[in-house]
């Protein structure tokens, strides 16, 4: 006899049910606690219908996928006549909610999310598990920015579709691949690529590539219609990203990316080497996960420790010492140039500033300044002489706007970081939602709540009513050696 699950019950002798979170398509979802390590868990209680199908997939789940981008399943099985799935509790929002709130998101953030999902799917595909139901509801973005795929292997297609002719299950149908529409059993890795492509399209443009009032029309549309190109809807998107999305949405599976690995290397901004992180290069700086501890992309020349005095540059190939400022080895022609941290263009050895964007090089012994143009520090030149500075109206700040300097600056407004020749600013007081007049602005764009933004020579910064110009200047008076 099945007993009814209620608050206070303990499942598998370990997980205590605390409250009902909601009701999903397959049964109730409870919040609970793992009494072994006191961590929160989500407990899915499946309806009897779903149980039948669940058992078919139990073999897959036994492989217990363990990947940072896949929700972790702690335990599953029968208890007291009911069937439960115990998973880690995720604190965040799924993409469906995010899309509802924001309409669409930036290209950088969308790419980051899709890359994370592709990473997780890649691991699953290697274990011969196909998700089959990739859609915004099944992708969560946690409060710390991590991305997790949920409902893995649990969502299975029903043999007898519970579909009325008018389309009760239209929700899932928007993300189905053409081969899934034509034949439910013909699902494989490339179907996941297609479904992820639909999600990617919607994240970038805010619109679904295939939509209709009726289920039948939607099916026909998925099979026969070519969706509008993303840049027709959002012209600001890069041509590379459009190419990727279009390829993911190819009607024939063989025309898409054959695997998640190929997709990952096809996504723009793919890391040059494993472990390297991409950097936020735009001013609006939505980085997702900036970590000052991570290494910047390595220059072509070996990264030597910062020399105190530079007399010459040894060629890594033939060891000849070349003059400072050389681009190629005089003896063997080896390319000695490094890459600008900011714009990636080649920089000659020993150069302090990038010839193209003016950004200081890693080895540059340069100094950052906030030059007051208007407001609290008008006419003053504030130097960034520590690795960490705070700015705000409270008197405890390193740069304090107290005593009437600027009443519109928040008490704790911004933080400034210095790291390997670069200066970053972070709008700290992000308690307010969205753009406020009291916010921190770089070149007219509000950077509150967007993490650390790298400053470049010439950037205009505003805090409250005070305006600054950021400058990067060579320290001391260096002359090039000859």
Partner 1 sequence: MRFANLTDVGREREHNEDNLLSTFFSFGHGSRRIGFGLHVVADGMGGAAAGEVASSITVETIIRNVFENLLRTHMDSNQGYLNLGKVVRAALEEANQMVWKLARENTQYLGMGATCTTILTCQGRAFIGQVGDSRAYMLRGGELRQITRDHSFVGEMVRDGRLTEEQARVHPRKNIITRAIGSRYAVQVDVFFEELRPGDMLLACSDGLSGMVTDPEMRTLLSQGIGKRRELSRLCEDLVQKANSAGGTDNITVTLVWVDQEDIPARPLDQIAFSPDSVLTWDEASRLDLEDWSFIRVEA
Residues assigned a catalytic role: 133
In this structure, the chain runs to a length of 482
Measured from the CB of residue 160, what is the shortest distance to partner 1 in angstroms?
Answer: 8
Measured from the CB of residue 220, what is the shortest distance to partner 1 in angstroms?
Answer: 5
Nearer to partner 1, 184 or 321 (CB): 184
Report 167-186 residues binding partner 1 (CB under 8 A). 167-168, 181-182, 184
Cα dihedral: 155, 159, 165, 169 (round 10)? 0
| 165 scored as a contact of partner 1 (CB under 8 A) | yes
**Three-class DSSP category at 215:** helix
Nearer to partner 1, 107 or 179 (CB): 179
CB contact set of 118 (below 8 Å; sequence gap of 6+): 196, 260, 263, 264, 267
Range in contact with partner 1 (rule: CB under 8 A) among 9-17, 219-227, 248-256, 442-450: 219-227
Q: Helix 189-205 to helix 107-126 angle, to the nearest 10 degrees?
A: 170
Which x/- pattern over 329-358 shows residues binding partner 1 (rule: CB under 8 A)? ------------------------------
| 53 scored as a contact of partner 1 (CB under 8 A) | no
| 219 scored as a contact of partner 1 (CB under 8 A) | yes
The CA-atom distances, in angstroms, between 212 and each of 225, 250, 406 are: 12, 19, 54
Which x/- pattern over 183-202 shows residues binding partner 1 (rule: CB under 8 A)? -x------------------
Q: Binder to partner 1 among 220, 371, 402, 473 (CB under 8 A)?
A: 220
Q: Binder to partner 1 among 217, 335, 398, 465 (CB under 8 A)?
A: 217
The footprint of partner 1 on this chain (CB under 8 A) covers a number of residues equal to 19
Nearer to partner 1, 78 or 213 (CB): 213
Measured from the CB of residue 179, what is the shortest distance to partner 1 in angstroms?
Answer: 12
In terms of Cβ atoms closer than 10 Å to its own Cβ (0-12, 13-18, 19+), residue 262 is: middle
CB contact set of 70 (below 8 Å; sequence gap of 6+): 120, 123, 124, 148, 149, 152
Report 223-252 residues binding partner 1 (CB under 8 A). 223-224
Q: If you count DSSP H runs as helices and E runs as strands, how many of each does the chain have, helices first?
A: 10, 24
| 166 scored as a contact of partner 1 (CB under 8 A) | yes
**314 beta partners:** 321
| 435 scored as a contact of partner 1 (CB under 8 A) | no
SS3 content of the chain, % helix, strand, coil (to 5): 20, 25, 55
- d(CA 28, CA 447) in angstroms, rounded, equals 40
Residues that bind partner 1 in the complex, under the rule CB under 8 A: 161, 163-168, 181-182, 184, 213-217, 219-220, 223-224
């Amino acid at each position: 006899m099945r007993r009814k699950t209620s608050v206070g019950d303990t499942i598998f002798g370990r997980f205590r049910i605390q409250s009902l979170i909601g009701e999903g398509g397959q049964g109730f979802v409870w919040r609970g606690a793992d009494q072994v390590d006191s961590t929160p868990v989500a407990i899915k209680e499946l309806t009897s219908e779903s149980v039948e199908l669940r058992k078919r997939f139990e073999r897959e789940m036994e492989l217990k996928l363990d990947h940072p981008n896949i929700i972790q399943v702690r335990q599953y099985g029968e208890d007291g006549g009911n069937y439960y799935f115990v998973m880690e509790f995720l604190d965040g929002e799924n993409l469906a909610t995010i899309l509802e709130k924001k309409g669409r998101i930036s290209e950088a953030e969308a790419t980051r999310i899709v890359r994370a999902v592709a990473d997780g799917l890649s691991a699953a595909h290697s274990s011969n598990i196909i998700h089959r139901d990739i859609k915004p509801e099944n992708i969560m973005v946690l409060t710390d920015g991590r991305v997790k795929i949920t409902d893995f292997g649990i969502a299975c297609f029903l043999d007898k579709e519970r579909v009325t002719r008018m389309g009760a299950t239209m929700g899932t149908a928007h993300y189905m691949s053409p081969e899934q529409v034509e034949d439910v059993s013909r699902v494989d890795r490339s179907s996941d690529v297609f479904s992820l492509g639909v999600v990617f399209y919607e994240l970038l443009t805010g619109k679904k590539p295939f939509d209709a009032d009726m289920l039948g029309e939607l099916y026909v549309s998925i099979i026969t219609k070519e969706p509008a190109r993303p840049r027709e809807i959002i012209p600001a998107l890069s041509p590379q990203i459009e190419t990727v999305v279009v390829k993911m949405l190819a009607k024939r599976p063989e025309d898409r990316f054959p695997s998640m690995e190929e997709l990952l290397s096809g996504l723009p901004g793919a890391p040059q080497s494993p472990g390297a992180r991409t950097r936020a290069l735009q001013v609006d700086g939505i980085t997702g996960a900036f970590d000052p501890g991570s290494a910047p992309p390595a220059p072509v020349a070996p990264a030597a420790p910062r020399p105190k005095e530079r007399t010459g540059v040894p060629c890594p190939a033939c060891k000849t010492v070349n003059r400072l400022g050389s681009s190629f080895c005089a003896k063997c022609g080896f390319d000695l140039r490094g890459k600008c941290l900011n714009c990636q263009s080649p920089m000659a050895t020993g150069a302090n500033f990038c010839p193209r964007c003016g950004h200081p090089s890693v080895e540059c012994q340069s100094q950052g300044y906030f030059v007051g143009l208007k407001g609290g520090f008008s006419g003053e030149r504030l130097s960034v002489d520590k690795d960490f500075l705070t700015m705000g109206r409270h008197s405890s700040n390193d740069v304090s706007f107290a005593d009437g300097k600027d009443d519109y600056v928040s008490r704790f407004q911004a933080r400034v970081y210095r790291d390997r020749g670069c200066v970053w600013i972070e709008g700290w007081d992000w308690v307010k939602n969205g753009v406020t007049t009291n916010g921190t602005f770089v070149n007219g764009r509000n950077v509150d709540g967007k993490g650390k933004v790298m400053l470049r020579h010439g950037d205009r910064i505003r805090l409250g009513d005070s305006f600054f110009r950021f400058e990067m200047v060579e320290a001391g008076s260096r002359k090039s050696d000859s």
